[in-house]
Amino acid sequence: MTVLSPTITVRQLSLDDYEDVVALLNELTDGIPLVYGKDGPAQFAKLLQHDGTSLFGVEINDQVVSCATLHIMPNMTYGGRPYCLVENVVTLRAYQGRGFGRMVMEALRDAAWQANAYKIMLLTGQDRGARGFYESLGYKADQKHGMVLRQVPPYKAPVS
């Protein structure tokens, strides 16, 4: 039996990747509800069509095993250069520790620098153990304080 090397591709994701992205986000969110079912593909399309937003992923033999979202935001400081936000960085547990998260983050970085962004920001959960991973990519935790204000449970408009 001959074992062939897998085909590994780092690329921008599309609507065709919806099912793989849902599987990845389900691992990331640990039970926090996603938009899926009949509304899922439309919400995914809305995300992909949002100006300045891109999803990048690592695909191995037709399966996306790692992904992250990049938001390029317009700005008035730094000569009008944009800044970027990274969100929802995840690699399937079975594929972690093989460099796929690094590949995704490098693709995001390259896209941000190509857009002439002056910085990339991200938040990571304190309990996920990912801080060292981001520091190995050059991110610093000593320049700013990350803060979050959440609305939990989600806002629901009153019924009239």
In a domain, residue 42? The reply is yes
pLDDT, position 1: 57
First-to-last C-alpha distance (Å) of the chain: 67
Q: Average pLDDT of the chain?
A: 89
Distance of CA 141 to the CA centre of its chain: 19
In a domain, residue 155? The reply is no
Q: Which domain holds residue 123?
A: 8-136
In a domain, residue 72? The reply is yes
In a domain, residue 1? The reply is no
Give bridge partners of residue 25 from the DSSP assignment.
Answer: none
Match 């390029």 to its residue by tokens: 72
Neighbours of 156 (CB within 10 A): 6
CA 95 to CA 62: how far, in whole Å?
Answer: 14
In a domain, residue 99? The reply is yes
Q: What is the pLDDT of residues 83-118, one digit of tens each?
A: 999 999 999 999 999 999 999 999 999 999 999 999
In a domain, residue 71? The reply is yes
The domain total for the chain is 1
In a domain, residue 60? The reply is yes
112 and 64 Cβ atoms separated by less than 8 Å: no
Q: What is the CA radius of gyration of the chain?
A: 17
Q: What is the pLDDT of residues 27-75, one digit of tens each?
A: 988 777 787 678 899 999 999 999 999 999 999 999 999 999 999 999 9
In a domain, residue 56? The reply is yes
DSSP 77: S
pLDDT at 130 over 70: yes
Q: What is the pLDDT of residues 20-33, one digit of tens each?
A: 999 999 998 877 77
What is the CATH classification number for the domain harbouring 67?
A: 3.40.630.30
